[in-house]
Amino acid sequence: MRYKEWEDMYKRIVEDLKIDVEADRKAASILQSLLEKKKSRFKPDILKNMIEDKDIIVFGAGPSLLGNINRNIDLISNSILISADGATTALIENDIQPDIIVSDLDGKISDQIDANKKGSIVIIHAHGNNIENLIHFIPRFQGVIFGTTQIDPSPYPLLYNYGGFTDGDRAVFLADHFKAKKIYLIGFDFNDEIGEYSFADRKDKKLKREKLRWCNYLINILNNPSIEFL
């Protein structure tokens, strides 16, 4: 999804959740500066080559995550794996290396840094509530990383916006943008129950549930017949 397609949806989310747009801009500017300091820079062709016309599994951090990992081992071993933030920890605990991690750095970040060293591409998202984590953790990532923003990315040459709001739906939008053949979703639960790998003890649970409702809505508006919930 291009930003022009996403812009109206972002405005609706801003209004609904009272998001500070100026803080989002500040976060984007900081992430841009941090990425400029990295010795290596990478083009999205890496992501396109990994995703296009491939079977993709996106892992959310819902309560059904672990059970569905165990039930779908064969599919997991033959697919490109994208984990949404905290779901990365569940995969690592089950000796599964994600190919791509989509994160706003509020999960177990040490697991994401370690996975990045071992070859996982990490797509790090900037927003107004994670500025301190951006500053603290970005320098620790030593592998391939990309930056994303939920605002217009055009002023920030090293940032992208493929659409989506939460880590989970941004991962789905990423797979959709790069034309995955099939997108399986594991650990996406929209019954107001928060999974342990969401690390909800650190978060406003009411806001988390509101974000999950947006996640569900955003995945549905993609209207992509290749998306399948497992």
pLDDT at 63: 92
**Residues 119-128 pLDDT 10s:** 999 999 999 9
CATH assignment of the domain containing 110: 3.90.1480
| DSSP per position, the chain | --HHHHHHHHHHHHHHHT--HHHHHHHHHHHHHHHHTSS----THHHHHHHTTSEEEEE--STTHHHHHHHTHHHHHTSEEEEETTHHHHHHHTT---SEEEE-S-S-HHHHHHHHHTT-EEEEEE-TT-HHHHHHHGGG--S-EEEEESS--TT-TTEE--S-SSHHHHHHHHHHHTT-SEEEEES---SSPPPGGG-GGGS-HHHHHHHHHHHHHHHHHT--TTEEE-
Q: Which domain holds residue 25?
A: 3-229
Separation between Cα atoms, residue 75 and residue 184, nearest integer Å = 10
pLDDT at 39: 84
- Residue 82 contacts residue 174 (beta carbons within 8 Å): yes
Residue 101 tokens, joined: 């991690």
Q: Total structural domains in the chain?
A: 1
Residues of the chain under the 70 pLDDT cut: 195, 199-204
pLDDT at 202: 58
pLDDT at 128: 96
Separation between Cα atoms, residue 59 and residue 21, nearest integer Å = 28
- Residue 163 contacts residue 6 (beta carbons within 8 Å): yes
pLDDT at 204: 66
pLDDT at 207: 84
